Amino acid sequence: MKVRRLATVVLVLLSTLTTIAGAQSSNFNVLVLDALDGKPQSGAIVRYFCEGLGWNPQNEAKTGLNGIAEVPYQCQEGLENITVDVPGEAKGECGGLGALKLSDILAKGIISEPNGAGGYWCPTKQRHKLKPVPGQVTVFVKKPTWWQSHVAG
C-alpha cells in the first residue's frame, strides 16, 4: 500500500514538473507573410537575439512551406527583450519590430506594423485581417519598389 502511494506521489510530481517546464519554454514561432497578398513566405531567414547579446549566425531559423519558423531560443536570466529580424534579399521586412518582450510574445502574440519605422513601408491591408496568436510573431515582407531600392534604401 505504501509503495502504491509513493508511486502516485512520484507520478503527480513528475506531471507537475513537466507542466511547469512546458510553461517556461520560450520557444515561439515567427510567421512571415507577403504584405501585398498575405501569402506565407517559405525559405525566409529569421534572425533573433536577446537584447544586450547581439546577433550571432547560430541564431537563425528558416521558414517552412507554411511560412513559419520555430525559434528555439531561450534568453539568459534577466534578459527579457528579444529582437526578431527578417533580412530578405528578394523581399525585405516591412516596418520594424524593435525589441519585444518575450513574455508578450508567449502570452499574447505580436503582429508587426507594416508601415512602422524601419524597413520598407508597406500597406496594412493584410495586417487588419489577422489577430495575434499567443507564441507567435507575425512579420510582413515585400519586394522593394524601384524608389525604395535605389533612392530611399
- pLDDT for 20: 36
Q: Which residue in 138, 98, 105 sits closest to 26, CA to CA?
A: 105
pTM of the model: 0.77
Query: How confident is the model over 34-67, as pLDDT tens digits?
Result: 999 999 999 999 999 888 777 677 889 999 999 9
Query: How confident is the model over 107-139, as pLDDT tens digits?
Result: 999 999 988 776 678 889 999 999 999 999 999
Set out the domains of the chain in order of their start, with CATH numbers: 26-152 (2.60.40.10)
- pLDDT for 152: 55
Give percent of the chain with pLDDT exceeding 70: 76
Listed range (1-10, 21-30, 67-76, 85-94) with the worst mean pLDDT: 1-10
- pLDDT for 104: 92
